[in-house]
Each structure stands twice: as C-alpha cells, then as structure tokens.
Homo-oligomer: A and B are copies of this chain.
Amino acid sequence: MTPLSPTEPSVLIEEKASLQAKKIRFEINKIRLPMGLEKEFGSIKHPGASLAVPQTNDGKFVLLRQYRFAISRRIIEFPAGTLEDGENPLSSMKRELGEETGYEAYEWESLGQMCPCPGYSDEIIHMYLARNLTHIAEPPPGDDDEDIEVLIMSKSEINKCISSGNELLDGKSITAWYRACQLIEN
C-alpha cells in the first residue's frame, strides 16, 4: 500500500468565516485554485479518523448498528473513530475498538487510506484489518452520545446487506470491506 499522492495546495487569499463544532471546523475561504480561478468555497477541516475491519477467530466480522443524527437513521458501520489532535491513527483505533466493541486485536494490517467526502471535507480515514481478537474482561467506557449495538456478521451476510441495500453501510465501511476482501481468505 503506497501513501497518498502528493498534495497540490490551493493558495489561501482570504479567510471569510468559520464555525467550530467540537473536533470539526467549517471554513469559508477565498482561494486560488491551481487552474488559476479565485473563488470562495466552504469546507470541513477534520482531524482525520481510523477504522477497523475486525475479524473474529472463527472468520466472522464485528460491525456496529449505530444511530447517526446527521442522517436521522441507524446504519451499519465498521468500528471507527475521529482522531484526537495529533493522535496516531493505529493507537486511536486500538482504543476505539475496545470502547465500541469490547474486543482487543493482536494483529493489525493496513488497508490504506480513503477520502469519504473530497468535495467538502479534508477528512482522511486510515483503515485496518484487525485479527487475532480476544474479549476484554472490563471494556473501557465509550462516548456518552454513542448509541450502538455490536453485530457479528459472516462475509456472505455483509455482502448480502450491501447488495440488497436493506440496511445501509456507509461509504467508509464499503470501501474498507472492498479492501479487506482482497486480503482475507474466501
């Protein structure tokens, strides 16, 4: 897995407005694009996130059914979390996996990085395949606003879920699943 392609920054001409909401900030800036055009654009500045595809020792996968206020729905996702400022993505994911699922993993393999929303967010998600799982005797507490249910699903159940669309998996989860399926045995 190679790193992301080199950046080609736009030039900041003028900061117009911004709003901070916990870890994310929305900014409206006037910028000069590499093509030469100067224009105002709004976008999210995000500290980045990490995600794990956790495979149990009997070959199933740990997912979450989670309430997401932004889309007013419960959807199925792989465990993931927003980085604390300057936090290492893998360390963050090890902590989140314990908090969200009660599992600890002893084998971690990179599934690369992805951009969930390149049109208006700089978020980059670091994805991992987590194997050799054990239950944590006393899992650490998660965030007070998380409303989640832990699911154990087989490969075919996940594929059926994605293809039927009966329950939605989000973009980062389907991307990570696509990458994981290239590494796991059939």
- Chain A interface (Cβ < 8 Å from any Cβ of B): 1-2, 4-10, 17-22, 24, 26, 28, 31, 33-35, 37, 39-44, 67-75, 77, 82, 112-124, 144-145, 147, 162-168, 170-172, 174-175, 177-179, 182
Contacting residue for A26 out of B42, B119, B123, CB 8 A = B42
B171 and A117: CB pair below 8 A? yes
B residues less than 8 Å from A20 (CB atoms) = 42
Contacting residue for A44 out of B1, B120, B122, B177, CB 8 A = B120
A115 and B179: CB pair below 8 A? no
**Within the assembled complex, what's the spacing in Å between the Cα atoms of A122 and B120?**
13
B69 and A31: CB pair below 8 A? yes
B26 and A118: CB pair below 8 A? no
Question: Given known contacts A42-B19, A75-B115, A179-B163, is B70 in contact with A37 (CB within 8 Å)?
Answer: no
Task: Taking A5-B73, A10-B69, A26-B26 as given, write out 15 further A-B residue pairs in contact, using a Cβ cutoff of 8 Å, ordered by the A residue number.
Answer: A6-B73, A7-B71, A8-B74, A19-B26, A21-B41, A33-B67, A34-B147, A70-B117, A70-B118, A71-B118, A113-B165, A113-B168, A120-B121, A171-B171, A171-B175
**Within the assembled complex, what's the spacing in Å between the Cα atoms of A2 and B74?**
16
B residues less than 8 Å from A113 (CB atoms) = 165, 168
B residues less than 8 Å from A162 (CB atoms) = 178-179
Best-surrounded residue of A10, A166, A167, A171 (most CB of chain B within 10 A): A171
A-B CB proximity, top 6 nearest:
A21-B42, A171-B171, A26-B26, A68-B118, A7-B72, A112-B165
B residues less than 8 Å from A33 (CB atoms) = 67, 69, 145, 147
